[in-house]
Amino acid sequence: MDEPNTDDWSGGSAWERIDPDTARLIHLLYVPTMFCNLGCRYCYLGDLTRDAQGFSEDCAKALPTLRFAVEKLLENNVLPFNISLHGGEVTTLPPEILEQLFRFITDYYRAAGPLLEKGGFRKKHPHVKTNLYNFHKLYDLFDRYGVSVSGSVDLPLSLHGRERVTRAGKSSLDRILKNIALLAAYPHDKKISATVFEPHFHKRAELAEDIRMLHRRGFDMNRFNFMFGFASQRNRGCGGGEGPEPVRALSGEQQVAFYNYFMDAFGGTELDRGVNGAWFEEFTPKYCTNSVNCGEKFFLLQGDGNVYSCVRGQGSSAFHYGNIYEDSVSHILREGRRKISLAHKTVGIHDDCLACDFLDTCRTGCPFVKHEGKKGKSYTCRLQKALYAKSPERYPLPGTDRERAERRAGYLSAMHPNLLYKEENRIPEENRVILPNDLYDEKNSLTNIIGADKILEKLYAADGFIITVDGRPHALQSQILKPVREIYHLYPDQEVQLHARPDLFTAHCDEPVRNTLCIQMLRDTKVTYGDEKRTKQEHLFTHEVFHRCLEKSDFRQDWIMLPLSPLLACHGGLFLPSAANNMFVTTGFLRKYHYQKQRDNAFYHIQAINLPFQNFEFYWD
């Protein structure tokens, strides 16, 4: 094993193989040790966290394995957009090992910054999931690296006292309460989460009271989220258990009753933002559980080099993708895709999902939980449907039978193509769309059309517009070219600015004085109109500012800038709490060029039928 290298990490030649246009962006969890200092009865990892025998080896491998893996990924054109530390319990590692990891991750984000920004990601600081038991000892170290902290606690606290015990059987509650108070004053990103099983459900009034108490004591409980426990082969507590009562997962009815209880208790209070947002966000399409195939994007690396799907799949051969020391990156990527696909196919798809109007939103849930429970649908199905029903602007029902069939076919063709041949799943023959065969010629692909046209290259530039939010930059990409949809949260007291590269104003325009910065604001509430009767996002407003009226940017030399905060505040009444807003930016002449190109080139028109400009989606909180 290599000696840990504590010099600044730059990646050296590993970056040479990264092609910014084709790099595969992945989410990487790193588990340097499986050991945990607590022994919770319902832990999804079961006995895997008890083994302290290999701990000194874990310490020795912690940094070398991560460094080896990241360099090997980069050499294979794979770019982690997020490296988070998870357990076991990461904070059981000695502080000097933790510091090596923090330093490496910080160096990585620094070196990868421009590439990640291009892909719409902005990361600077390490992230740690922790049970908070050691937080007081590590506070200064975390502070020095700006570590973002996700603390896992048990609520109500009476259950924490009973269930979250040290290896010596002592309650961890007193120390955790002190550390939550410390976390409240911690000046970096932070949140806490709690997992709910049946005993928590039965004590929901007490749980609600504890949330209020923690909020009163200074921890902003809008930064909190619930998770629902599930039965797995490892957490023997579910349905059995050794404690005073069996620890069972909630039924679907209980999940909905739990959600309604908290909506009633906290809607309209100062925790309204939490209960209507982060608390139940894990069950909305923002999470891995709603991927078509999560094995394409989410990976967990252990200190011993083994790669699994995620924290849930750790230790399960069906979710093991290989070992970074022994297998090629292409093998690991292939296995990820194959094993997740196999897990979905093996349990099959539930009849409820086949008939469900939200199949293309939900995508039937987490393959690991389905695999463990031998069920063909999401274990939080009922709750998800309640959330969808509450926000019809965000989760619209299909407007016609044809739209329903198309939406269903979209998911089935990706995961269960054999079912498309079943009569009831076919899109009716008379509704078949006829496309010219040469649409699929290589020269007619959108990227090739853009590559052959200097003005379109500027129109689609991924480094032409940057939005800063309180100084933090987000590079804007074309809506139709970006690999993932990101939705941000903006608050009225934040300073938001739009910065633009000056040469965009001379693209297709001889006199920049006649050109404008053009902003189109849409909202994710649907309207149907036009000759095609397409259902699209609703237009809220268009705003244009002439080139000479724009300010000098402080963020990039020679760039120009428009302050956005006053514009957003002035239209704040149009931004709904439950609907994302979609802001497109371009120049007046580039916009004209896009429509001219649509008229001139049918292959361009058909692929750029949705607005192609750089965009920024946000909720206005």
584 contacts ligand SF4 (rule: CB under 6 A):
no
| CA-based nearest residue to 568, from 476, 488, 448 | 488
Interface with ligand SF4: number of residues (CB under 6 A): 24
The answer to whether 380 touches 283, Cβ cutoff 8 Å, is yes
Cα 260 from chain centre: 25
Q: How far is the CB of 340 from ligand SF4 (least distance, A)?
A: 6
Q: What is the DSSP string of 304-320?
A: TSEEESSTTTTT-GGGE
Residue of 181, 288, 414, 480 that binds ligand SF4 (CB under 6 A):
288
Q: Which of residues 367 and 612 has its CB atom nearest to ligand SF4 in the complex? A: 367
294 contacts ligand SF4 (rule: CB under 6 A):
yes
285 contacts ligand SF4 (rule: CB under 6 A):
no
Q: How far is the CB of 596 from ligand SF4 (least distance, A)?
A: 42
| CA-based nearest residue to 121, from 83, 155, 149, 152 | 83
Q: Which stretch binds ligand SF4 (CB under 6 A): 179-187, 213-221, 362-370, 546-554?
A: 362-370
Q: Which stretch binds ligand SF4 (CB under 6 A): 83-91, 184-192, 310-318, 538-546?
A: 310-318
Residue of 358, 593, 613, 618 that binds ligand SF4 (CB under 6 A):
358
Tokens of 428: 């009716």
Q: Which of residues 27 and 508 has its CB atom nearest to ligand SF4 in the complex? A: 27
Query: Strand 24-31 to strand 78-85: parallel, antiparallel, or no bridges (unpaired)?
Result: parallel
CB count, 10 Å around CB of 286?
Answer: 12
Sign of CA dihedral 227, 231, 236, 241: positive
381 contacts ligand SF4 (rule: CB under 6 A):
yes
336 contacts ligand SF4 (rule: CB under 6 A):
no
Q: Which of residues 356 and 585 has its CB atom nearest to ligand SF4 in the complex? A: 356
Identify the bridge partners of residue 323 per DSSP, sorted by sequence position.
306
74 contacts ligand SF4 (rule: CB under 6 A):
no
> What type of residue sits at position 570?
C
Identify the bridge partners of residue 543 per DSSP, sorted by sequence position.
519
Buried b / exposed e along 161-196 (16+ C-beta atoms within 10 A): bebbbeeeeeebbebbbebbeebbebeeebbbbbbb
Residue of 70, 132, 366, 522 that binds ligand SF4 (CB under 6 A):
366
Alpha helices in 130-269 (DSSP H): 135-144, 157-163, 173-185, 198-202, 204-216, 252-266
Q: How far is the CB of 287 from ligand SF4 (least distance, A)?
A: 7
359 contacts ligand SF4 (rule: CB under 6 A):
yes
The answer to whether 43 touches 163, Cβ cutoff 8 Å, is no
The answer to whether 124 touches 166, Cβ cutoff 8 Å, is no
Q: Which of residues 389 and 527 has its CB atom nearest to ligand SF4 in the complex? A: 389
Q: How far is the CB of 506 from ligand SF4 (least distance, A)?
A: 46
Q: How far is the CB of 344 from ligand SF4 (least distance, A)?
A: 10
Burial (0-12, 13-18, 19+ Cβ within 10 Å), 56: exposed
Q: How far is the CB of 283 from ligand SF4 (least distance, A)?
A: 10
Tokens of 246: 């069996």
Return d(Cα 449, Cα 452) in angstroms, integer: 5
365 contacts ligand SF4 (rule: CB under 6 A):
yes
Cα 419 from chain centre: 29
367 contacts ligand SF4 (rule: CB under 6 A):
yes
Return d(Cα 323, Cα 397) in angstroms, integer: 43
Helices 55-75, 95-118: axis angle to 10 degrees equals 20
284 contacts ligand SF4 (rule: CB under 6 A):
no
353 contacts ligand SF4 (rule: CB under 6 A):
yes
Q: What does the per-residue mask of binding to ligand SF4 show for 474-513, with x meaning CB under 6 A?
A: ----------------------------------------
Return d(Cα 249, Cα 257) in angstroms, integer: 14
Q: Which residue has the tokens 């252990």?
A: 302
Q: How far is the CB of 225 from ligand SF4 (least distance, A)?
A: 14
Q: Which of residues 52 and 311 has its CB atom nearest to ligand SF4 in the complex? A: 311
352 contacts ligand SF4 (rule: CB under 6 A):
yes
Q: How far is the CB of 183 from ligand SF4 (least distance, A)?
A: 25
Q: Which stretch binds ligand SF4 (CB under 6 A): 169-177, 210-218, 288-296, 545-553?
A: 288-296
Residue of 234, 385, 394, 458 that binds ligand SF4 (CB under 6 A):
385
362 contacts ligand SF4 (rule: CB under 6 A):
yes
Q: Which stretch binds ligand SF4 (CB under 6 A): 273-281, 309-317, 555-563, 584-592?
A: 309-317
356 contacts ligand SF4 (rule: CB under 6 A):
yes
Q: Which of residues 351 and 457 has its CB atom nearest to ligand SF4 in the complex? A: 351
Q: Which of residues 87 and 367 has its CB atom nearest to ligand SF4 in the complex? A: 367
> What type of residue sits at position 14?
A
Return d(Cα 485, Cα 616) in angstroms, integer: 9
Alpha helices in 247-309 (DSSP H): 252-266, 272-275
312 contacts ligand SF4 (rule: CB under 6 A):
yes
384 contacts ligand SF4 (rule: CB under 6 A):
yes
Return d(Cα 586, Cα 554) in angstroms, integer: 20
386 contacts ligand SF4 (rule: CB under 6 A):
no
519 contacts ligand SF4 (rule: CB under 6 A):
no
Q: How far is the CB of 337 from ligand SF4 (least distance, A)?
A: 12
Q: Which of residues 303 and 365 has its CB atom nearest to ligand SF4 in the complex? A: 365
Q: Which stretch binds ligand SF4 (CB under 6 A): 6-14, 238-246, 349-357, 398-406?
A: 349-357
Q: What is the DSSP string of 14-31?
A: GGGG--TTTPEEEEEEEE
Residue of 310, 386, 585, 608 that binds ligand SF4 (CB under 6 A):
310
Tokens of 144: 């020095």
Residue of 49, 148, 378, 520 that binds ligand SF4 (CB under 6 A):
378
The answer to whether 70 touches 80, Cβ cutoff 8 Å, is yes
The answer to whether 149 touches 196, Cβ cutoff 8 Å, is no
Phi-psi domain of 33 (left: phi exceeds 0; alpha: psi -120 through 50; beta: other): beta
Look up residue 511 and give its DSSP letter: -
Return d(Cα 527, Cα 581) in angstroms, integer: 14
Q: What does the per-residue mask of binding to ligand SF4 show for 417-456, with x meaning CB under 6 A?
A: ----------------------------------------
Provide the binding-site residues for ligand SF4, judged by CB under 6 A.
288-289, 294, 298, 309-310, 312-313, 352-353, 356, 358-359, 362, 364-368, 377-378, 381, 384-385
